[in-house]
Amino acid sequence: MAEWNAFYRNEDEEEEQEEGEQSGESYRITGRDSLVFLVDASKEMFIKGEDGQPSNFDMTMQVVRSVYMSKIISSHRDLVALVFYGTEQSKNPRNSFKHVYVYHDLDEPGAKRVQDIDSLRGEKGAQLAAETMGSRETSLGDALWCCANLYSDIKLRLSHKRLMIFTCRDEPHGGDSVKDRQARTKAGDLKETGVVIDLMHLMKPGGFNVSLFFCDVISPPEDESELGLQEEPCEKLDDLQKRVRAKEQKKRAMARLNLCLGVGLNVAVGIYATAVTARKPSAIKLYRETNEPVRSKTRTFHTQTGSLLLPSEIKKAQVYGNKQIVMERDEVDAIKKFDDPGLLLIGFKPMEKLKLHHHIRPAVFLYPEEDQVKGSACLFSALLKKCSERNVFALCRCIARRNYPPRFVALVPQHEEVDEGNAQITPPGFNVIYLPYADDFRTLDPPHYPAASQVQVDKMKEIISKLRFKYRSDAFENPVIQQHYRNLEALALDMMAPEDIEDLIMPKVEQIDCRLGPLVDEFKDLVYPENYNPESKPAAKRKTADSGGGAEKKPKVEVTEDELKVHVQNGTLAKLTVPVLKEACKQFGVRTAGTKKQELIDALVARLGS
């Protein structure tokens, strides 16, 4: 029977569990995200900017392409569509709407779609768009109606629906009040069905006045943390990409909990991961004849009879005091359960009590969930304000999931920060710092080395001050992952060779040498002996004559039958190593079902304990 400890996670699995908890992997997604790009194809969109700047249409196509690529990599099951309005040609389901061209239906992004977008970029792309679609009068109401039909034709469950309008015209109908009223009515119908409408307005001569028409069409921010309507239009590609990136992805909570501030006083909060480790996707196994994905199934059989075991027939056990304690799965779950998931406020501590070595794993972010409990945002805001004013953090007990062990956490207040364009840099809320238990601290004996002299320390301070720079984590990309996706992109898009990437983590040696000047040589003269060359190879170790140059093989450890019986009687077989247990099984002809330590012990107990 399986060891009881096997039901609980070991150290490696615990780390994987924590990583999964931080990245939100265990959060169940109830549907797919969907995004529709509604792009103005009027002649004004194709006018080039000053000083060789790309046209608004070309900027939009670059942004659409980047979103397609991002979706393919990060969430390939999301649905994306591209629709042009104000076109001469019409192409939509049943051709019900004039001057609306559905370039891509609402479907998963793929390599073919990226190639289609590439064909619309640059001067050749503008010519192709003019030949394929053309430019004509505009009816935004028909375009919104067409997008509503795209959503209604989808039979899949959609968790989030968003529509982005790209245009440089603040009056799309030229003051036609009938068309304006139709567009406002259709936009209201879309918003009632849960579609979020955003405006990505672009620069035009004389400026873009949002209040003329679009302020009545777009959706208000879903919560305080979301970027609202920007008054200033996008002039550059980077600005447009930032705004689209801030809107395109729905913020998913890792968990939604109640923060208990006292008896009968609960605040609904969501836990969000602000940073997640980027990893290469795992390989998918394919059937070699059809290239279809294959699924693996695991079944458990009885070692003696070979019969298939049902989950209800499998129990957990642990040997304690030479006695096997058998428990049902429900009993094990009941033992593991400490309390219901949630955050329980214990008290407040000054910020000085929170030390740097208390940081044992990446922090997560806490934000109120007004939809769950009304008034949560108001009470949460008051708590955040008071903690910040008094420079304290809230100490809480946190149980993130059912059957998760409790952890002590520190809720550190964080203020909202916005940039010059009024775009949010950091949202208001609490950073959740996981605190260590007493068992997590280790006593270390650091090695003793001769201390550096004050002259050497001062010289190193000079070097450090010369090499200082402002660090931003988002300025450095993982070169391994970037190269991996460049290779996949080249294969999918039939490119001759993958795009070159710049390895940003490599040190800039020439710039470092220019900044330091003679400081490096001066430091070497102070620390290292004369004529020291750090690049020289160390002298090879001499081989001993007795050993013949090779490492001595450890002799096999054999245990006698009497010693094994004593171990069986005392229940101390677990003290022996796996190689010793394997050798004992071979010595006494004991057949085992596997090679795990507990399986070897069970086989020896069955043979020698009888």
The angle subtended at Cα 81 by Cα 77 and Cα 86, nearest 5°, is: 175
432 within 8 A of 411, measured Cβ to Cβ: yes
Among 237, 157, 170, CA closest to 199: 170
CA distance 117 to 84: 13
CA 346 remoteness from chain centre: 30
Among 33, 104, 39, CA closest to 71: 33
Is 28 designated active site?
yes
Structure tokens at 81: 């569509």
Among 591, 588, 595, 586, CA closest to 603: 591
Residues 6+ apart with CB under 8 A from 465: none
Task: Return the half-sphere exposure (C-beta side, CA atoms, 13 A cut-off) of residue 230.
Answer: 26
Among 48, 124, 112, CA closest to 82: 112
104 within 8 A of 61, measured Cβ to Cβ: no
Catalytic-role residue among 28, 94, 157, 442: 28
CA distance 48 to 501: 29
Around Cβ 284, how many Cβ atoms within 10 Å? Answer: 7
Among 186, 344, 143, 339, CA closest to 260: 344
Burial of residue 226 (CB within 10 Å: 0-12, 13-18, 19+) is middle
CA 102 remoteness from chain centre: 32
Among 120, 125, 124, 107, CA closest to 71: 107
CA distance 41 to 63: 15
Calculate Rg over the CA atoms of the chain: 33
The DSSP result for 212-242, as a single string, is GTGGGTSPPPSSTTS----SSPB-SHHHHHH
CA distance 272 to 294: 33
Percent composition of the chain: helix, strand, coil (DSSP 3-state, to 5)? 40, 20, 45
Active-site positions read 28
